C-alpha cells in the first residue's frame, strides 16, 4: 500500500495553516469592506439628492433673510437672462 499523500506532505503539515488563515482573513476582510460600502451607500444617498442650481441657492438665501427682496429680484433676473458659462465660451 502506498502511503505517499502528496497533498498532505510535510510542508503543508507545518505551514498549511498559514494558507487557511490567509484565506480566512481575506474572506472576512472582504465581507467587512463590502458591508461598510453597502451601508454607506444608503446613508449618504438620501442626503445628496439632486444637484442644486444657483436659483435654488438664491431662493434659500432669500428665505433665510440673508438678502433683501431687491437683491433677490436683481440676481434672479441676472441668472435667468445669462446663458450658462459653457455657452458663453463657445460663442466667444
Q: DSSP per residue over 79-90, as a string?
A: HHHSPPHHHHHH
Mean pLDDT by 10 residues, the chain (92 residues): 60 75 94 86 62 89 94 92 64 56
How many domains does the chain divide into?
2
Q: What is the pLDDT of residue 65?
A: 94
At 34, list the grid cell: 463590502
Domain co-membership, 65 together with 40: no
Domain co-membership, 7 together with 44: yes
Domain co-membership, 45 together with 77: no
Domain co-membership, 14 together with 34: yes
Closest CA to 56 of 74, 71, 72: 72
Domain co-membership, 34 together with 64: no
Domain co-membership, 12 together with 44: yes
Q: What is the pLDDT of residue 38?
A: 81
Residue ranges making up the domain that contains 3: 1-49
Domain co-membership, 41 together with 4: yes
Amino acid at each position: 500500500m502506498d502511503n505517499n499523500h502528496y497533498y498532505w506532505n510535510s510542508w503543508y503539515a507545518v505551514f498549511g495553516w498559514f494558507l487557511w488563515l490567509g484565506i480566512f482573513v481575506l474572506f472576512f476582510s472582504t465581507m467587512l469592506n463590502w458591508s461598510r460600502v453597502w451601508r454607506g451607500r444608503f446613508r449618504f444617498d438620501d442626503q445628496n439628492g439632486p444637484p442644486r442650481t444657483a436659483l435654488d441657492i438664491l431662493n434659500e438665501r432669500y428665505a433665510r433673510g440673508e438678502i433683501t427682496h431687491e437683491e433677490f429680484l436683481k440676481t434672479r433676473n441676472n441668472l435667468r437672462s445669462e446663458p450658462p458659462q459653457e455657452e458663453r465660451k463657445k460663442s466667444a
